[in-house]
A = this chain, B = another copy of it.
């Protein structure tokens, strides 16, 4: 199967890192095609960055979605998720939702450890919208800038571990969700150190996507995920219309 892996920011280094994380867990028959928008922010650390990045996700699905068997959106805010589901009949999975779903299979409660504290509210909104408000017992910022994770985050692992330990104790949680695609490379280390399930959404999304494709399940085209209505798009977005 062909998996379209979209990094919503424009950092090629991060795209490569996320692709590596995805390929490391993909089944042999899965080809990971990693991409990123042609425009937008180098990292996503707030609502404004995210709004532009969501349009970038829509662009990439519009351009490359036709050939994909599944799509993964590799930013913890799941930007453009609903848009992507309208734009392709392939299953589309965001890494935040994937991580939340995976954690729910493994513990009665989990905590999220993320980057900038200011983005906690984005995770809170997702938790609430997806219905995980009782499973998610805490969301914790570390104020590590996203791009500091570009090298795999090796320098940040102690800080993240400390935040995770405190979260486990204070939140009475049984698992940790990593709140940034850029933390994927740290997942094994943190899991070994913490002794609890540590969930990287990129890996979880890849496996869930493979599972859905194997079952022949596709995004519903009935109702609110029906293909976009035909209409004129203006400006740089002209090619994105239907």
Binding site for B on A (CB under 8 A): 10, 25, 27, 37-43, 45-52, 54-55, 57-58, 80, 82-83, 85-87, 91-93, 97, 101-102, 104-109, 116-122, 125, 128-135, 145, 168, 172-175, 191, 195-197, 199, 203-204, 207-208, 210-212, 214-226, 228-229, 231-238, 240-242
13 A-B residue pairings within 8 Å (CB atoms): A40-B234, A46-B229, A49-B231, A51-B54, A51-B55, A101-B104, A108-B121, A108-B224, A117-B223, A173-B223, A196-B221, A199-B217, A208-B208
Cα distance A116–B208 in the bound complex, in angstroms: 31
Inter-subunit contact B120/A172 (CB<8 Å): yes
Q: Are A52 and B51 in contact (CB under 8 A)?
A: no
Is B168's CB under 8 angstroms from A214's CB? no
Residues in B whose Cβ lies below 8 Å from that of A168: 222
Q: A41-B241, A55-B55, A204-B211 are in contact. List 7 more A-B contacts (CB 8 A).
A: A37-B235, A39-B235, A41-B237, A47-B82, A107-B219, A109-B121, A117-B172
